[in-house]
Amino acid sequence: MSLAKELEKRANNCCELCGSSENLSAYEVPSSPKSGIDASILACKTCIDDFDAETKNANHWRCLNDAMWSTVPAVQVMAWRLLQRVEEDWTRELLEMMYMEDDTRNWAEAAGDGEEKADAVIHRDVNGVPLAAGDAVLLIKDLKVKGSSMVAKQGTAVRRISLDPENEKYIEGKVDGQQIVIITDYVKKI
């Protein structure tokens, strides 16, 4: 069976991102560690044309609301990358909710779409372990929260952190219901 045929079967002859059944073709996900059907998705022309568009058609990508829950890693990777690039409040919310296996996340974060990630900001915990958005960390010392009398206690678990895209030393997370900035030197990944 050809790749296109295999994909059509997996995808039930629908675009795996938006569900359209018109102008479908196989699309190989950039920077894939896999090959063949595992590295490709079935996508419609509307989706494929917008992959490289400078200004994304944000409305069209509302379809990612469904596509991100696909069980196919290649689809998850494309959904994640597109959500990253369609910078809207709702895409940020979806990214926070999105779940991927570690392998899939690494693939999604690999340089794709011809963009070099050489200058990427990498956040690391006190032991040098890379941190990703959505990770949980433990505070390894009491931290005074700037601008308030609050102290975030050593041993507090902070779940679903977000990363400061500009500064590799800063992450954010909720402690006692309050969003605070935390320095990566004072956390350990759980």
Burial of 135 (0-12, 13-18, 19+ CB in 10 A): buried
Q: According to the binding rule CB under 5 A, does residue 17 interact with Zn ion?
A: yes
Q: According to the binding rule CB under 5 A, does residue 18 interact with Zn ion?
A: yes
152 bridge partner residues:
143
Q: Which stretch binds Zn ion (CB under 5 A): 40-48, 69-77, 92-100, 110-118?
A: 40-48
Q: Could you give the CA distance from residue 60 to residue 49 in angstroms, rounded to a whole number?
A: 12
Instruction: Using the minimum distance from each CB to Zn ion, give the nearer residue, 37 or 47.
Output: 47
Q: According to the binding rule CB under 5 A, does residue 15 interact with Zn ion?
A: yes
Q: According to the binding rule CB under 5 A, does residue 68 interact with Zn ion?
A: no
Q: Which stretch binds Zn ion (CB under 5 A): 36-44, 86-94, 160-168, 170-178?
A: 36-44
Q: According to the binding rule CB under 5 A, does residue 20 interact with Zn ion?
A: yes
Q: According to the binding rule CB under 5 A, does residue 7 interact with Zn ion?
A: no
Instruction: Using the minimum distance from each CB to Zn ion, give the nearer residue, 44 or 143.
Output: 44
Give 126's Cβ-side CA count (13 Å radius): 13
Collect contacts of 48-55 with beta carbons under 8 A, ≥24 apart.
Answer: 51/27, 51/82, 51/113, 52/113
Q: Which residues bind Zn ion (CB under 5 A)?
A: 15, 17-18, 20, 44, 47
